[in-house]
Amino acid sequence: MIAFMLSFFLLTEKSIELRHTTEPPHIDGSIEDIWYQADSAYDFIQYQPNDRVPTTEPTVAYFLADDENLYVAMRCYTPGREPVASFKGFEDHVWLYLDTFNSKSMAYMFAVCLSGHYDDGLLLEDGRVQDVSWDYVWFFDAKKYAERYEIEIKIPFKSIRYKGGLDEWGLQIRRWHIKDYAVSHWTEVLQQDGMQVSDFGTLRNVHPKSKGYYVELYPEGFFRYDRRGDTTDYKPSFSFNFKWDPSSQMTINATVNPDFAQIESDPYSFNLSRYPVRLEEHRPFFVEGLDVFRMSSLGLGFFNPLDIFYSRTVGAPLPAPWVGSLPILGGIKLINKSSDWNFGALGAYTSEFNDTINGDTLNLPNRGFAVARINRALLENSDIGLMFSGTGTSSDDYNLALGFDAAYRTGPSQFILQSAISDKNAKRGYAVSSGGVYRSSNFIAVGRFVSVDDSFDVGDMGYVPWQGVTDIYFAAGPARYPQTGPILRFYLEPGFVLTKYPESDQWSKFLCLFVEPRFRNLWGFNIYAQAGDMYEADTNYLYRSIETSIWSGLREYMNLHFGFIYSHRYNYYRSLLYGEKWIANQLWLWHWMSFVPISQLSLITYGDFVMEWDPQGQLHAITPIWTPRIEYQINADMDISLYSEFVFHTEEGKLSTAEVVSNRIGLLFSWNFLPKSWLFVAFNNLRQDEGSGLQLAERIAAIKVKYLIYF
């Protein structure tokens, strides 16, 4: 009888009422009497290390609102211990999630740490994908007391998008406990499912009365010093960004003469594969809203969505020997969201470029870019959508694509179908990509199918480099979620891969195996192995590979993540370099480690150790890449970091001959002095070996100020 009542209580949908106040609370991290008139969320349920049990450290959350703002207070008890605050190590913190369109698929995220750190972003694809690139205007404070800490949050309604007239929002609260590395939620979350927006509780009686429109004026000033060889350049610049929310569901962004220079350089990449490296986007105009201008994703590495728009192609880097990126004259973006329909449109225009270096001339005309996407929600948290992308310099030089995608989600399972057609200067092609994950209480199955026509080409504005490739992957096996013992969850997935490359009429056929145990003490590892007949690059050989990744959080002061990839495969880099087929062994060792000796200091080291053999079985080359990094958090809003990236080269694979062929030193100071307002001071010094030892290749010093004016 007691077990039945407990099950009924846990499965009942939770809801709380948002109560109105005419006296707003003071946001100082101290819960005053006014909060006791609010409805509260309590009875949190543990997710880790054991799900479906009451948490041992209670949490109470209160919700109030006035006409302009949502207020949230959380009292987090820590009986028998002192709350932990740490700028760089593990610390007590909470996450707040709001589904303001009751979409059952997307939610805003707000995180507050006891040290004063914070984060925000979007939870997408019913919880399967996180996008922390978004940046909002909101306020908070946190204070530590004996055996508890308290957090207060103020979120202006005009800072977020929501559906007008909708009086119920989805609500979830997640708390991280340093004790036992526990995680608890307000509504039940299971290991086999993960957190899903469709399973959120409800915040009732939401009636925002915010008047007026939300406007951001975002000027940026930038001064940069460049030295390359004997050339020195001083470049001041100014750009202006504009954001206007004409309604609670619509946002318009515009930028004029933007400076999209990177404060920190892209890391050195050593690429042995047939495909170019895909770089992350860091530029604010493209980062904010990036979720709108892409097709659906599983959030798992085995699935490759059709990226018919890849924002790094806008203002792309100039080819060597030129340095820098193509200037962008301006851009505009419109996003409209509702419970059922989402729409986005983006346009950008790049400058012409004409220059001559050592007799080589580069002439690039003005280029326009356009992207549009419309998405319709179906069956509660599934959706279908259309997407268009295009770029061109004239009627004879263009690249267009039209894509369709559909995503079906039910519980922890998800299935995606995508297709696209392209037209590049009258050359047309098609592409299809589909994938899925099925999960139950004791079974998991994953799969993908990709077929890209050899005429499909979105190279001027997208990232789909698999021309002429057809690929099938399927794996399935037992999944276990023990309620006791050291293992938190365990996957075992045997399967197969079939791949057909354009240069061969034969199918490559592999058997594969994926194994992943995760432990309750935050340790975990996975192993992925493949072996079979490979047909590529006009040759055939026995392909084999094994990849492993190991991770751990060692208490509050250390994180480890390391692993290796061994493979016997075609080496595209050496084949291109030496003009011969290079089928040989490769061993790629990598690591990332962070050590926190004190709360404000983090000592980080990461890098790769690449070993390449030649086709005769002799060790040919070793390429160590190592980056030590020091980060010091001055306070919650101000930090400084210093790194030095070393790239080594050996002759005939002998470590005794190792020489530094590239060294980049970087320094970055950042200060978040007001909401969304930043001061950056950066220095980068690159030295490369051109045959006579390390010589200065590039030196950059920059000061950048971004100041937000909003009303």
Tokens representing 203 are 């915040």
CA distances from 676 to 220, 672, 673 (A): 12, 7, 8
**Cβ atoms within 10 A of the Cβ of 195, count?**
21
Which helix (DSSP H) or strand (DSSP E) does residue 353 occupy? strand 353-357
- Read off the DSSP letter of residue 120: E
Tokens representing 63 are 């919700």
- Per cent of the chain over pLDDT 70 is 96
Q: Which of these, 400, 407, 416, lies nearest to 309 by C-alpha position? A: 400
| pLDDT given for residue 237 in this prediction | 85
Q: pLDDT-based confidence at 39, cuts 50/70/90?
A: very high
For residue 3, pLDDT over 50 is answered with no
CA torsion through residues 255, 700, 119, 54, sign: positive
> Which residue reads 């100020």 in tokens?
705
| pLDDT given for residue 260 in this prediction | 52
Which residues, other chains included, contact 479 with Cβ-Cβ below 8 Å and sequence gap of 6+? 192, 439, 440, 441, 442, 443, 444, 489, 490, 491, 492
Q: Which of these, 470, 527, 469, 472, lies nearest to 496 by C-alpha position? A: 472
**Are 200 and 41 within 8 A, CB to CB?**
no
Q: pLDDT-based confidence at 320, cuts 50/70/90?
A: confident
CA atoms within 13 A on the CB side of 421: 4
pLDDT tens for each residue of 146-166: 999 999 999 999 888 888 888
pLDDT tens for each residue of 651-662: 777 888 888 999
- CATH code of the domain made up of 2-204: 2.60.40.1190
Q: pLDDT higher for 297 or 333?
A: 333
pLDDT tens for each residue of 187-220: 999 988 889 999 999 999 999 987 656 788 989 8
pLDDT tens for each residue of 594-613: 999 999 999 999 999 999 99
Query: ∠ CA(94), CA(251), CA(401), 5° rounding?
Result: 105
Q: Give the separation between CA 469 and CA 487, rounded to whole angstroms.
A: 39
For residue 64, pLDDT over 80 is answered with yes
| pLDDT given for residue 1 in this prediction | 41
For residue 554, pLDDT over 70 is answered with no
- The 3-state DSSP class for residue 578 equals helix
Among 114-123, 272-281, 314-323, 590-599, which stretch is predicted with the lowest mean pLDDT?
314-323
Q: pLDDT-based confidence at 6, cuts 50/70/90?
A: very low
Q: Which of these, 173, 188, 128, 183, lies nearest to 439 by C-alpha position? A: 128
For residue 370, pLDDT over 90 is answered with yes
Q: Which of these, 468, 477, 519, 473, lies nearest to 496 by C-alpha position? A: 473
Q: Give the separation between CA 339 and CA 378, rounded to whole angstroms.
A: 10
What mean pLDDT do residues 403-407 have? Answer: 95
Beta bridge partners of 705: 221, 679
**Cβ atoms within 10 A of the Cβ of 484, count?**
8
What mean pLDDT do residues 559-570 have? Answer: 95
pTM summary value: 0.87
**Are 371 and 382 within 8 A, CB to CB?**
no
pLDDT tens for each residue of 428-444: 999 999 999 999 989 99
What residue segments make up the domains of the chain, in order of their start? 2-204
| pLDDT given for residue 134 in this prediction | 75
Among 8-22, 85-99, 377-391, 604-618, which stretch is predicted with the lowest mean pLDDT?
8-22
Q: Give the separation between CA 387 and CA 400, rounded to whole angstroms.
A: 11
Tokens representing 88 are 């760089």
**3-state SS of 626-689?**
EEEEEEEEEECCEEEEEEEEEEEEEECCEEEEEEEEEEEEEEEEEEEEECCEEEEEEEEEEEEE
